[in-house]
Amino acid sequence: MFNDDVFDKWLDKLNGDDEALSVEDKMILTLKAQTNHFYHLDIELKQDIESFRQEQNKKWDEQNEKWDESNRKWDESNKKFDAMQIELNKMYQAINNQTWKMIGAVGFIVLLGRLIENFGK
């Protein structure tokens, strides 16, 4: 299964016995080494993921702060706009009142003119 003579010789030397390691023993050793390697890769991956999450959370927090600031500015603009609307409504009411007073005054003048005209005959 393993065509690597250097690896085979090294494993045989580790065994220390005169008998060579069987292919099954070599496979078990290789699987154990891979398992250990996977374990360390898993730890590194978890650390990378945690680091990535922290970076993303920081970016989201910064973005949320920008949105909050933007919302505050919009709220201030809305308050100013509402105040302007109130002032315009007051102006329209005042103009409307003055207009009705003028119409009443003109009507009164016309009425007086008619009365004077009728008494003058």
Domain boundaries along the sequence of the chain: 5-119
| Out of 15-19, 82-86, 115-119, least confident range | 15-19
Confidence of residue 1 (pLDDT cuts 50, 70, 90): very low
Average pLDDT estimate for 26-50:
89
| pLDDT one-digit tens code per residue, 39-80 | 889 999 999 999 999 999 999 999 999 999 999 999 999 999
Sequence-distant (≥ 6) Cβ neighbours of residue 47 within 8 angstroms: none
Answer for the pair 9, 21: CB distance below 8 angstroms, yes or no. no
